[in-house]
Chain A
Amino acid sequence: MTEWHNVKKYFNRNLLLLLSVVFLGFPVLASENEKNQHDEVITKGETQHENIDNEIREKEYNAGESIIEHIVDSYGWHILDFNGHSVTIPLPVILWDNGKLHVFSSSRFDHGHESFEGFKIASEGPNKGKIIKILEENLVHGRVIEEENSDSLPLDFSITKNVFAVFISMILLCWIFISVANSYKKRKGQAPKGLQSFLEPLILFIRDDIAKPAIGEKKYEKLMPYLLTLFFFIFLNNLLGLIPFFPGGANVTGNVAITAILALFTFIITSFSANKYYWLHIINTPGVPWWLKFPIPLMPIIELIGVFTKPFVLMVRLFANITAGHIIVLGFISLIFIFGNINMGLGYGISVVSVAFAIFIAFLELLVAFIQAYVFTLLSAIYFGMAMEEHH
């Protein structure tokens, strides 16, 4: 009886906290991107700009562009479109240009239509999508003609959508695991309860089925923190990427930069924890005939390439799996809009099939989320084990 009373007290407090963050945070953070900025400059050219803008907003649905838009990183977090205005969380843009630091909100860019303080998101050319410096502003009919060369790219440290999503998942991970660690300390010797009993099988699975067989009984403990962090980071970000609304929905693990850093960490730890037999086996692989090593060192070259391709494959595997899954789900949803453009009735009809397929693929993606986290962690553990193996 008293146990249930405690649970109810904390449940109400935590629920209130969560709801207040969600509902109070929204009006504070989200800003309607109206045409207020356009009202300030009223010229004849301005109305033409606005008309063109209206045309752009009502143009035909382009499935390819819309899918790519949802996969790539962006400077603001677009939540929804309400009454023709887009509701976006404006994330800060932080630029370092020739010794000067510029910090401003990404809503100044107005989804790439406006320029601010001499910077603009390039809409075409080799730097498309990146922030470039405008050398000369020619205001012709309200448009800015950009003159740029590639040397004038400022260093971009902005908090983009993926960076913000990594912060969110970092906070979530810290919250979950610190509370589980605390409950282990408080309930020493007792059976696990609540979140503990959900995470304990996963953690023991990583220890008993991934770390111990791959690395060995004596040395696995040093690498357990890294393997656990890797697994839960990838798993949580994969799952968050499947949720279509804020704070999920950012394609984090489908971003090549993030998977590249994870693979780089594995590479660094492998190289630094390798004993001399590892390097010896690369230069002089045992059991290989001498003529593959002596005049032309074929075998050492192949082994050396292997040292670099193994983390590279880790990176590409995770990135391609997650991005492909997102593209498939987005493709099914875009089908509805493509058919809807042809005929309203067709759009409604296909939506049943599309949603059914999208749900099925989403279940598959749940499985893929877990499997990709498992395979990344397993392969990292195997590489560590190979690096630290004793000479037999």
Chain B
Amino acid sequence: MDLLAILLQVAQDFTPFAKLGAAIGASIAAIGAGMGIGQIGRAAVESIARQPEAGGDIRSNMIVAAALIEGVAFFAIVVCLLIVFL
């Protein structure tokens, strides 16, 4: 009986759980972005080691790819911010 009463009270307003979901979502987005950009960095550094003359080209391509991936990660961040503030 007590358990039912407590559960009913929790089920009144799920806002804290929504915020918890938003926080977990933002952290997963950060992990995803970190892993993705880490892969880019590894490939870029390896290719510069193989062919140092192409360093400039490789560097600009790496930065473009990193910016695109960051864009996707920021999508997730913006959605989480919307959950917290709306």
Contacts and interface: CB of A to CB of B under 8 A. Distances in A.
Interface of A: 209, 313, 316-317, 319-321, 324, 371-372, 374-375, 378
Interface string B61-81: 001100110110011011000
B78 A320 contact: yes
A334 to B, nearest CB: 17
Contact of B70 (A209, A319, A321, A374): A321
Contacts of B64: 375, 378
Contacts of A371: 63, 67
B70 A317 contact: yes
A321 B68 contact: no
Given A316-B75, A317-B67, A320-B77, 16 more contacts: A313-B71, A313-B75, A316-B71, A316-B74, A316-B78, A317-B70, A317-B71, A317-B74, A320-B74, A321-B70, A324-B74, A371-B63, A371-B67, A372-B67, A375-B64, A375-B68
A377 B60 CA distance: 14
Contacts of A320: 71, 74-75, 77-78
A321 B74 contact: yes
Nearest to A209: B60
A349 B4 CA distance: 49
Contacts of B67: 317, 371-372, 375
24 contacts: A209-B60, A313-B71, A313-B75, A316-B71, A316-B75, A316-B78, A317-B67, A317-B70, A317-B71, A317-B74, A319-B78, A320-B71, A320-B74, A320-B77, A321-B70, A324-B74, A324-B77, A371-B63, A371-B67, A372-B67, A374-B63, A375-B64, A375-B68, A378-B64
Contacts of A209: 60
A213 to B, nearest CB: 11
Nearest to B75: A316
A373 to B, nearest CB: 11
Nearest to B84: A64
Interface of B: 60, 63-64, 67-68, 70-71, 74-75, 77-78
A209 B75 CA distance: 28
A374 B67 CA distance: 10
Contacts of A316: 71, 74-75, 78
Contacts of A374: 63
Nearest to B78: A320
A321 B63 CA distance: 14
Contacts of B63: 371, 374
Q: Which of B67, B75, B78 has the most CB of A within 10 A?
A: B67
Nearest to A68: B85
Contacts of A321: 70, 74
B74 to A, nearest CB: 3
A313 B69 CA distance: 11
A372 B71 CA distance: 10
Contacts of B68: 375
Contacts of B78: 316, 319-320
Contacts of B75: 313, 316, 320
Nearest to A370: B63
Contacts of A372: 67
Contacts of A317: 67, 70-71, 74
A317 B63 CA distance: 14
Nearest to A379: B68
Nearest to B60: A209
5 nearest A-B pairs in the assembled complex, by CB-CB distance: A320-B74, A317-B71, A375-B67, A320-B78, A371-B67
A94 B53 CA distance: 58
Nearest to B67: A375
Nearest to B63: A371
A377 to B, nearest CB: 11
Nearest to B76: A320
A374 to B, nearest CB: 8
A320 B74 CA distance: 6
A3 to B, nearest CB: 36
B70 to A, nearest CB: 7
A389 to B, nearest CB: 20
Nearest to B71: A317
Nearest to A382: B64
A317 B60 CA distance: 18
A136 B60 CA distance: 61
A195 B68 CA distance: 32
A364 to B, nearest CB: 12
